[in-house]
Structure 1
Amino acid sequence: MIKPILPIAELLRPIFLFFVSALALLSGFRFLHFSLYSNRVSEAIGLGEFFILGLRADLMQVSYFIIIPFLAFPLFIPFMNRYRVQSLWYRAALLWFTLCFIILWFMEISTPAFLAQYDTRPNRLFFEYLEYPAEVFSTLWNGFKTWLMIGAASTLLTIYILKRIARIIAQRFQPEPMRRRYLLGVYPLLLVMVVLGIRSTLAHRPANPAFFAVTSDAMVNSLILNSTYTLEYALYNLKHESKANLIYGDMKTDEVLTTVKQNTHLKEYEFPYKDYPTVHFQPATRKREKPLNIVIILEESLGATFVESLGGVPVTPNLERLKSDGWWFERLYATGTRSVRGIEAVVSGFLPTRARSTVKLSNSQRQFFTLADVLSRQGYFTEFIYGGQAHFDNMANFFVGNGFQSIIDQDDYKTPNFTGSWGVSDEDLFNKLHQRLVVNTAKHPTFTLAFSSSNHEPFKFPDNTIKLHEEPKNTVNNAVKYADYALGEFFRKARQSNYWDNTLFLVVADHDTRVYGDDLIPVNKFHIPGLILGADLEPRTIKSTASQIDLAPTLLSLAGVSAYLPTVGQDLSRTDKAPGNRAMMQFGDNYGWLEGETLTVLRVNKPTEHYRYIPEVDKQEPIEDPLSPEQLKKIRAFAMLPSILYQSREYYVPKD
């Protein structure tokens, strides 16, 4: 019985070799990643469970690669007595598994740099940013040069070695006569084993990333998986973009809309448009003969961790001085962790989701609400000013399609004083902003969005502009200090300009420089500074919790603009209403709702978690479910709402 099986075993040798070598490769890299983050892993999970679950996840990925040639194998079985067919199968299998091994190697060797930057294994950002090779390569070269060189050299070496090994194995293959009935008997058994490897469980649903999310540290959960799988899963999830947040509850659309509209600051409004269910008329709290110009200065990666009065490093002295001249937000939180998420929240007032930002999604490239759209209808000239390339992250397309009449980017700076990896310096940006405001505000009311970029890795900025906070020069603290210097110089000129008395400014961060931590929602890394100043605005400190989505309705009201809006953020200028005292944050698959001291975290296919958040010491204490069914229903409704509005293309104010 053994002899007839031997030719079959020889024929299937590429599968067995790949199976063993791939598992060894992935396990070896998991040990490497564990060594880099051993403290966090050890605090979150037992080492035995960590590596066993990791092996289980690797079996899933390896089985996915094996199943493809396995499904093609029956096509060859009727002809396996022909030696040429056997050789064809053998060489095709060797080629396939060589390519698969190279993919596994490349993804794992790329992981340490990605972990250092994003605190997770490669995900959708890994392939999204491939659209911008110049910027990405510059960031990698300046921030991770050693690892980039190791990765490139080792990948080329791996390809060379695998090519040699595959050639040797192919040359040694000796086709032999075989009995197809034995082959037909072995094949189903092996196929069942591969399918079980893919499912990794006998339960009704196959395993997925949520199955391996066994700790409260998202980064550790990602280490249990392997990088090829996390990237594949991110690609797979693209088809669920429009319904990304519907997974947080099973409420019907009407129930979600009714629940949101009953929220304190919305329930008094009327919603006259059936096809645009959140659109309501917001009267301005400030009555003005002529509405103010509005300027939003979106600061790249300026988290509260860089603002001394918010508990951060003292590298923003100009912002600290300016805060006494306007409305200063002590507990303002970003909705997400990327620039496009900040743009989406600040400019559109849109709630965060697990999907890509609406700046990139197809259904929001036209007829999607922005401040530029509502203000252009009221006679404003609307403009976006950026120091880099406006096509990055699809910004230009989104802006042009949704109300911005002018786009200025790197190509429009004829003689910049300094150009870095991400565009011209913040000084160049603010000089251009000042020049444009002088010209534009003299002609018509103006809405301008200016987006800085100097505080972006690899942190390049002009020499001899600031006293360095630390050595070497190109560090995040020095870059933030330079960005703050440029901001201070702009406001020094703006105060002396003709546009100051009729212009309202918002200075706010898009997100913190890096969002990481061992909590399901690292709240402190979502904490950002925010300041509204200019014109006749009286100083005020807002101590209650606020979100980026509250800024758009508040700005319009302070500027004296009454308008129909689809936003569900709160107008914080209304003194007749208590502030909402809540913020929402999307961190990967976790949706956080911070209200008062209670942090509620909605998870995908996992129980809801509740914590008492103490911001003074950045501590989260687990608590028993303190929420009433009505409160939890409200949170789920707000989490589900953006997917409903995006999917139905209802986040827009129809034109009469």
Structure 2
Amino acid sequence: MITQKIKPFLYLGIFYLIVSLVIRLVFLFHPITTASFGFFEIIKVLSIGIINDIFVFTIASVFLALYFLFLSNSKYDKPYGHIILGILILIFLYILVIPNNIFKQYGGSIAEIALAFIGLKILFFGLMLFLPGKRIQIRNVLYFIILFLYSVIIIFNAVSEYFFYNEFGLRYNFIAVDYLIYTNEVIGNIMESYPVVPLFLSIFAVGLAITFFIYRKTRKELLDLPNLKQKFILLGSFILLVAVSLFGLSFTTKITSPNVFAEEIEANGLPKFYWAFTHNELDYFQFYPKIDQKLAEKNFLSEFSTPALTRNITSEQPELKKNVVLISIESLSADFMEHYGNTEKLTPFLDSLADKSMMFTNLYATGNRTVRGLEALTLCIPPTAGESIIKRENNKNKFTTGSVFKSKGYDVKFLYGGYSYFDNMQDFFTGNGYGIVDRDNFKPEEISFANVWGVADEDMAKKAIQVMNAEAKSGKPFFNHWMTVSNHRPFTYPDGRIDIPGNAKSREGGVKYTDYSLRKFFEMAKKQDWYKNTVFVIIADHCASSAGDTELPMDKYKIPAMVYSEGFIQPQKFDKLMSQIDVMPTVFGLLNFNYQSKFLGQDVLKSEFQPKAYIATYQDLGFVKDDHLTIISPVRIIRQYSVKQKPGKLSPQFNIYYDENILKDHNQKLVDETISAYQSTSYWLKNNQLNR
């Protein structure tokens, strides 16, 4: 009897293992997987992967196990059946009628979900109670539905992991959690990017076929229900298997590899999703290597001319109250530009502008998300473990680029073509004194084209000119931070603007259309009175992809940046290694600003500047200096690589990579500098010392 009852689990489990194996093989040979695998490494990856899958399926089958445990005919006997039905009705009325019931206190849609679940439970329980002759048929229908849900979820998860890997070169992480939170933008993005209807029809069709197969093989198990003793044996066995699986995952999920692709492919996406969901912010002092706090602060602050967190920045020249327009460009990798060796002519305007600007040719983004780029340009501090500060609760009243401009009498705004509630941007920028101009400020006639991420960049460019004209009339200088949106999947934009159709949905089209929109912006700006008194800072928020052979592939963090001001900034190239957090302190230096600073980025044009860069994911924190990349990770793991120049088509300063082999003998001075920078930043944030 008991062995017969595990047949549904075996069939579903085998199906899950087959699907997981297929998706792993797809990842192994996916173009984004740039690493090579030897035969034994492939065997290792697949073996660990299968073990992970067995553990995960065992835990995920808890709902099916509960379904079988609660199968019974005796509960419909008098008086138990009527009592149970009465209790279910009372619970339904409690949720429906009582305003502050326990479900509504959780917020969101919990109450509605509970109401729907109890309502369905009442319906089917009532049918089986009052129609005993149809009990087998009703039970079969419910069993079929459960099998179908399991089958569809298995397939849907595999498809989701494929698309996520296709985009990021990773299994689920913080971004996947965001996808659940910002459902409007994300579902809209999926609808616009992929053939959703055929895709879902295919998923349901395959799920239906698998369900029919398993149902036909196992439906007889519902004819002879287990007795109480057998249920206890089944329950005990299942609890033991779940305990073993949880214990096993605590080991297999910590297996590391020098090849980040191997780690991702052998992993199971569901534990990674759960980990990301429960670790919005990583406590540096719990998970990362640390040294004495005073020593860490002394080490980190020694690079500044005044070794203190709060420093007085002074200039011998008069301050220049020029307008400043900071344009963060969505996902503009350096290698999209001709200046970095691209031959597709995707950015003709930006390349022409670079020739007239101060161009930073060796600059690295701090992260791989828009919120990380905004954080770096606004707070000018190294990235910290976990989610961006923009997404955290304690994100207000910080010392920001905006607060410096406001102290000088500037009008400060954040401009965004989408809805700024996305990624918590509205909460962050308004909480730090910025005015907001976003999609809510557009009249219908001002929008020529929009997708789920927002209005087309050319529409935002026109709106930006309107805003700046109004600001200029007030007599106050202005600082506007504009975040573009068009270079983002689904890469749709108005037709007829560039030589790539707007419905081609290609990354190249998104880049080229953004370049077109920026050209239009500057053409309009040149006609305005405020133009010649304005400094334009153009920089990417992050690269188009962060996938690589190692934890932090440097070439996937390299971004273009330039400062342009006609008649003020002389064309030049700055080739020293620098970070995204150094850009705005450098701009303040160009304007000869005198201010009290808490920025941890530096003016790169000052003699005391030390070339370095910070690059990070949500858990790997990297520090680049003196031809070394040092990475610290949970739990107190330290890796160090040798940064090397590799010959190629490009000039050496545009061709920086690093050796894939981990250095066995660490440069301890650089390890200490890495720990000092990240530990100090985390400590100051935790204690609100970076507030204004």
* TM-score normalised according to structure 1 size: 0.83
1:529 aligns to 2:560 (yes or no) = yes
Equivalent of 2:675, from 631, 636, 644?
A: 636
Q: Corresponding residue for 1:294? A: 324
1:29 aligns to 2:23 (yes or no) = yes
Contact preservation (8 Å) 1:410, 1:424: no
Displacement after TM superposition at 1:82 (Å):
9.0
Q: Corresponding residue for 2:458? A: 427
Equivalent of 1:235, from 247, 269, 277?
A: 277
Displacement after TM superposition at 1:288 (Å):
2.6
Equivalent of 2:50, from 55, 58, 64?
A: 55
Displacement after TM superposition at 1:296 (Å):
0.4
Contact preservation (8 Å) 2:348, 2:515: yes
* One-letter identity of the residue aligned with 2:16: A
Change (3 A) 1:158 1:646: farther
1:200 aligns to 2:220 (yes or no) = no
Q: Corresponding residue for 1:510? A: 541
1:394 aligns to 2:424 (yes or no) = yes
Aligned equivalents of 1:133 and 1:81: distance in 2? 43
SS in 2 for 1:43: coil
SS in 2 for 1:105: helix
Change (3 A) 1:246 1:94: farther
Aligned equivalents of 2:385 and 2:546: distance in 1? 16
Aligned equivalents of 1:188 and 1:112: distance in 2? 36
Displacement after TM superposition at 1:189 (Å):
6.0
Q: Corresponding residue for 1:129? A: 179
For residues 148-297 of structure 1, the aligned pairs below 5 Å read 149-155=198-204, 158=207, 162=211, 169=218, 172-175=221-224, 180=229, 191-200=239-248, 206-207=250-251, 209-211=253-255, 213-216=256-259, 218-238=260-280, 241-243=281-283, 247-262=287-302, 264-265=303-304, 268-270=306-308, 278=309, 280-285=310-315, 287-297=317-327
> What RMSD, in angstroms, separates the aligned Cα atoms of the two structures?
3.7
SS in 2 for 1:570: coil
1:111 aligns to 2:161 (yes or no) = yes
Contact preservation (8 Å) 1:466, 1:485: yes
Displacement after TM superposition at 1:460 (Å):
2.3
Q: Corresponding residue for 2:591? A: 559
* One-letter identity of the residue aligned with 1:549: I
1:450 aligns to 2:482 (yes or no) = yes
Contact preservation (8 Å) 2:492, 2:503: no
1:9 aligns to 2:16 (yes or no) = no
Displacement after TM superposition at 1:507 (Å):
0.7
* One-letter identity of the residue aligned with 1:598: H
Change (3 A) 1:232 1:304: same
Superposed CA deviations along residues 140-187 of structure 1, whole A, max 9, x for unmatched, are 3443327x632453146526864895698466434478694x876786
Equivalent of 1:464, from 484, 487, 496?
A: 496
Contact preservation (8 Å) 1:346, 1:551: yes
Change (3 A) 1:159 1:149: same
Contact preservation (8 Å) 2:33, 2:261: no
* One-letter identity of the residue aligned with 1:388: G
Aligned equivalents of 2:285 and 2:671: distance in 1? 15
Q: Corresponding residue for 1:586? A: 616
SS in 1 for 2:246: helix
Q: Corresponding residue for 2:435? A: 405
Aligned equivalents of 1:234 and 1:159: distance in 2? 31
Contact preservation (8 Å) 1:246, 1:640: no
For residues 28-107 of structure 1, the aligned pairs below 5 Å read 28-36=22-30, 40=34, 42-43=36-37, 46-66=41-61, 99-107=149-157
Aligned equivalents of 1:183 and 1:462: distance in 2? 62
Aligned equivalents of 2:657 and 2:35: distance in 1? 19
Runs of 5+ unmatched residues, structure 1: 1-6, 271-277
* One-letter identity of the residue aligned with 1:311: G
Q: Corresponding residue for 1:3? A: none
Superposed CA deviations along residues 4-34 of structure 1, whole A, max 9, x for unmatched, are xxx3334555544544443344334333444
Aligned equivalents of 1:13 and 1:167: distance in 2? 11
Change (3 A) 1:562 1:166: farther
* One-letter identity of the residue aligned with 2:465: H
SS in 2 for 1:458: coil
Contact preservation (8 Å) 2:622, 2:630: yes
431-440 vs 525-534, greater mean Cα deviation: 431-440
Runs of 5+ unmatched residues, structure 2: 81-134, 647-651
Displacement after TM superposition at 1:300 (Å):
1.3
Displacement after TM superposition at 1:636 (Å):
1.6
Change (3 A) 1:255 1:104: farther
Superposed CA deviations along residues 506-529 of structure 1, whole A, max 9, x for unmatched, are 111111222222232221121111
487-496 vs 432-441, greater mean Cα deviation: 487-496
1:373 aligns to 2:373 (yes or no) = no
Q: Percent identity?
A: 22
Q: Corresponding residue for 2:469? A: 438
Aligned equivalents of 1:592 and 1:194: distance in 2? 37
Change (3 A) 1:162 1:68: closer
391-400 vs 452-461, greater mean Cα deviation: 452-461
SS in 1 for 2:279: helix
1:328 aligns to 2:359 (yes or no) = yes
Displacement after TM superposition at 1:550 (Å):
0.7
For residues 566-585 of structure 1, the aligned pairs below 5 Å read 566-574=598-606, 576-577=607-608, 579-585=609-615
Aligned equivalents of 1:250 and 1:149: distance in 2? 52
SS in 2 for 1:487: helix
SS in 2 for 1:52: helix
Aligned equivalents of 1:227 and 1:424: distance in 2? 33
Change (3 A) 1:645 1:269: closer
SS in 2 for 1:552: helix
* TM-score normalised according to structure 2 size: 0.79
Displacement after TM superposition at 1:338 (Å):
1.2
Change (3 A) 1:145 1:95: closer
Change (3 A) 1:359 1:171: same
SS in 2 for 1:251: coil
For residues 330-349 of structure 1, the aligned pairs below 5 Å read 330-349=361-380
Contact preservation (8 Å) 1:23, 1:55: yes
Displacement after TM superposition at 1:474 (Å):
4.3
* One-letter identity of the residue aligned with 2:675: R
